[in-house]
Structure 1
């Protein structure tokens, strides 16, 4: 069976690395689905110029900022409408190691039913408060998935098999901001989807722009974890049966 891949890139006021990122992705000759999540005039102008210059780029625009999670959902749904089978998500803030794209694509092609997720290897540029917050999220993800298969649920460098992912997107209501990255993985694990964790360098670059809001996004993730915990308890017999069979 032939598999069709594309990229999904959510963008909200990330101008510094966009040109280089798109030029890098263009070398793969795959569709690039870029979701402008209500960026300012400067970044929007830059995105429109890129859309004009690259025939493989598909620009989708939210009139107002809806959150990274919703931007990814918009991109994944568009990928499905294009007939793609897999979508590789990348953030636009320059944190990811683009040289690992080949590795992610190859692993996905070898195991097309699996989700390929980045397992960050941080350097000293990572803010300590962000690092500690990740550990708390890891614990909740392990509890809610009854599994250690998801090593890091917050890394936005990943490959989704679209058939099971889009099915889940239709069935569940998601936290539209930072909590989405973790929540979708837990729900995929509930469906017994396999995971491949790929160690990959992650940096916080000089011109990197993070839109993580400590109070808003921590609250949103807490709400997502609480919702997932309730869902895990309801699915507990099924999940335990899966563990015994696996």
Structure 2
């Protein structure tokens, strides 16, 4: 990972119950970990203070919650400033397994400068029905907007090519930003590579989620409407020109 210029970014908001185990498991696989504290109001700040002397951990934070999309952009900017070429993003709620990091590393070795997307098993035990529906809904509109198919457009476990992602602009800053990033990456000709990953969903009584079904689904619907318009005016023509003149 060091030779390839890969770091790991963990955006977190009020995940103090699972964050430490996520950090410790990631440190088994990565030489550099960036934690973006997105205005947490729980015990996250105190927990992160225990890593102050760990040279492998860098904490970037701010006092007001601004959303996962904003946290990712802050993490990307910091990673680029440190000279990293790629960033693996992993959620802080404990649903992802750090032991899958080598899957992303192998994929990027096979396809340099790609965007590698972790694909969950939608039949996984305890996976909320709402998540399954949201993923199918998102996958459908992603195909409409890009003419490309992906098995999981809602996962937060990904490997981003930092230089390529830095040339784009995004209009959202919260949960739905991850979908927007995929669409713009496809429009800009970045190779999208899905890889199978493991996933863990705790029982309902133990589950901590900041996904708000009503509001977030509304935001995603508005975003899809905007992206469909942009697909006609910008994304589609850009992909067509790239295919004709640059054979992408």
Q: Deviations over 1:59-106 (max 9, x none)?
A: 011211111111111111111111110000000101112221111112
| In 2: Cα distance, 1:106 partner to 1:14 partner | 29
Aligned length: 240
Contact 1:177 1:220 in 2 (8 A): no
The list of structure 1 runs, each at least 4 consecutive aligned residues, that deviate by more than 3 angstroms after superposition, is 240-246
Q: Which runs of 5+ in 2 are unaligned?
A: none
Query: What residue number does 1:232 align with?
Result: 231
Cα offsets for 1:138-176 (capped at 9, x unmatched): 11111111211x3311100010011110111xxx23311
Q: Deviations over 1:178-219 (max 9, x none)?
A: 111110011000011111111112221244411001122112
Match of 2:90? 90
Q: What's the counterpart of residue 29 of structure 2?
A: 28
1:181 aligned partner:
178
TM-score in terms of structure 1 length: 0.91
Aligned match of 2:40: 39
Pairing 1:1-246 to 2, within 5 Å after superposition: 3-49=4-50, 51-122=51-122, 123-148=124-149, 150-168=150-168, 172-206=169-203, 207-235=206-234, 236-242=236-242, 245=247
Matches of 1:164 and 1:103, distance apart in 2 = 21
User: In the superposition, relative to structure 1, how do residues 120 and 16 fare at CA in structure 2: closer, same or farther (>3 Å)?
Assistant: same
- Check whether the contact 2:116–2:158 (CA below 8 A) recurs between aligned residues: yes
Normalising by structure 2, we get a TM-score of: 0.90
> Which moved further from structure 2: 84-93 or 73-82?
73-82
Backbone CA RMSD of aligned residues: 1.7
Shift of 1:117: 0.5
